Chain A
Amino acid sequence: MTPDSLKKRRLAGVFLFGWIFFNYPIFSLFNLPVAWNGIPLLYGYVFFIWALIIVLIMLAARRDPPPGEPDR
Chain B
Amino acid sequence: MLTTEIILLIAFGYMGVLFAIAHFGDRWAAQGRSIISNPYIYALSLAVYCTAWTFYGSVGRAAASGLGFLPTYIGPTLMCALGWVVMRKIIRISKIHRITSIADFIASRYGKSGTLATMVTIIAVMGVIPYIALQLKAISMSYNIINQYPLIVMPRYFADIPVVHDTAFYVALLLALFAILFGTRHLDATERHEGLVAAIAFESLVKLVAFLAAGLFVTYGVFQGFGDVFAKAGAVPRLQELFIFENRGGEYFSWCIDIILSMVVLICLPRQFQVIVVENVNENHLQKAVWLFPLYLLAINLFVLPIALGGTVYFTSGVDADTFVLTLPIARRQEMLSLLVFIGGMSASTGMVIVETVALSTMICNDLVMPVLLRLPLVRSARSPDLSTTVLNIRRGSIALVVLSAYAYFRFVGEAFALVSIGLISFVAAAQFAPAMLGGIFWKQGTRAGAISGLVAGFAVWSYTLVLPSLVEAGLLDETVMTRGLWQMAALKPFQLFGLQGLDPIAHAVFWSLLVNGACYVGVSLFGNKTPIELTQAALFVEVFTYPAKAEDSSLWRGTALVTDLRSLLERFLGSPRTEEALNAFARNRKIRWGPLSKADPALVTYAETLLAGAIGSASARVMVASVVKEEPLGLDEVMHILDETRQVIAYSRELEKATAELKSANERLKELDRLKNEFISTITHELRTPLTAVRSIAEILHANPRLPPDQHHNLTAVIVRESERLTRLINQVLDFQKLETGKMTWQLLPVDLREVCREAMASVRPLMEERNIRTKLDLPERLPPVAGDRDRLLQAMLNLLSNAVKFCDTLGGQIVVEVSSQTDHLRVAVRDNGAGIRKEDLGVIFEEFRQGRHDSRGRPPGSGLGLAITKRIVEAHGGRIWAESQPGRGSTFSFTLPLAVQSQQEG
Binding site for B on A (CB under 8 A): 7-8, 11-12, 14-15, 18-19, 22-24, 27-28, 31-33, 35, 37-40, 42-43, 46-47, 50-51, 53-58, 60-62, 65, 69, 71-72
Contact = CB atoms under 8 A, between A and B. Distances in A.
Contact of A61 (B84, B295, B305): B84
A54 B549 contact: no
B230 A42 contact: no
Do most interface residues of chain B lie in helix, strand or loop, or is the interface mixed? helix
Given A11-B82, A23-B259, A69-B545, A42 B226 contact: no
Contacts of A33: 240, 243-244
A71 B291 contact: no
B252 A28 contact: yes
Contacts of B247: 28, 31
A60 B244 CA distance: 32
24 contacts: A11-B82, A11-B85, A15-B78, A15-B81, A18-B78, A23-B252, A24-B256, A27-B255, A32-B244, A33-B243, A35-B230, A38-B227, A40-B243, A42-B244, A43-B305, A47-B298, A50-B77, A54-B77, A54-B298, A58-B291, A61-B84, A61-B288, A61-B291, A71-B282
Interface in B233-252: 234, 240, 243-245, 247, 249, 252
Contacts of B283: 71-72
Interface string B34-78: 000000000000000000000000000000000100100010011
B77 A72 contact: no
Contact of A38 (B82, B230, B244, B305): B230
Interface in B210-266: 225-228, 230-231, 234, 240, 243-245, 247, 249, 252-253, 255-256, 259
Contacts of B234: 35, 40
A46 B77 CA distance: 13
B763 to A, nearest CB: 60
Point out which of A40, A42, A47 has the most chain B C-beta atoms below 10 A from its C-beta: A40
Interface string B271-283: 0000000000011
Contacts of A8: 84-85
Contacts of B92: 72
Interface of B: 67, 70, 74, 77-78, 80-85, 92, 95, 225-228, 230-231, 234, 240, 243-245, 247, 249, 252-253, 255-256, 259, 282-284, 286-288, 290-291, 294-295, 298, 302, 305, 545, 549
A17 B74 CA distance: 13
Contacts of B302: 47
A45 to B, nearest CB: 10
B245 A61 contact: no
B291 A40 contact: no
B84 A7 contact: yes
A54 B305 contact: no
B245 A42 contact: yes
Contact of B227 (A18, A31, A37, A42): A37
Given A22-B74, A37-B227, 15 more contacts: A12-B81, A18-B78, A19-B78, A39-B226, A46-B74, A47-B302, A50-B74, A53-B294, A57-B80, A58-B291, A62-B287, A65-B287, A71-B282, A71-B284, A72-B92
A18 B669 CA distance: 51
Contacts of B77: 18, 50, 53-54
B230 A27 contact: no
B568 to A, nearest CB: 30
Query: 6 closest pairs, A vs B, by CB?
Result: A38-B227, A24-B252, A15-B81, A58-B291, A40-B243, A57-B291
A8 to B, nearest CB: 5
Nearest to A27: B252
Contact of B78 (A22, A24, A31, A58): A22
A19 B234 CA distance: 29
A40 B244 contact: yes
Given A19-B78, A47-B302, A50-B77, A61 B230 contact: no
Nearest to B246: A31
Contacts of A42: 67, 243-245
Given A37-B227, A40-B230, A54-B298, A46 B67 contact: yes
A38 B231 contact: yes
Nearest to A28: B252
B82 A15 contact: yes
A65 B284 contact: yes
Contact of B294 (A32, A37, A54): A54
Contacts of B83: 11
A31 B242 CA distance: 11
Contacts of A38: 225-228, 230-231
Nearest to A24: B252
B244 A61 contact: no
Contacts of A56: 81
A72 B259 CA distance: 32
Given A35-B230, A47-B302, A53 B81 contact: yes
A42 B848 CA distance: 69
A59 B755 CA distance: 66
Given A31-B247, A39-B227, A57-B291, A72 B549 contact: yes
B263 to A, nearest CB: 10
A12 B290 CA distance: 13
Contacts of A55: 291
Nearest to A70: B549
Given A11-B84, A14-B81, A18-B81, A57 B243 contact: no
Contact of B70 (A14, A46, A65): A46
A56 B294 CA distance: 12
Nearest to A56: B81
Contacts of B82: 11-12, 15
A69 B95 CA distance: 14
Contacts of A62: 287
A43 B78 contact: no
A42 B290 CA distance: 25
A50 B301 CA distance: 11
A43 B792 CA distance: 85
A19 B245 CA distance: 18
A15 to B, nearest CB: 4
A10 to B, nearest CB: 9
A39 to B, nearest CB: 6
A58 B284 CA distance: 14
B81 to A, nearest CB: 4
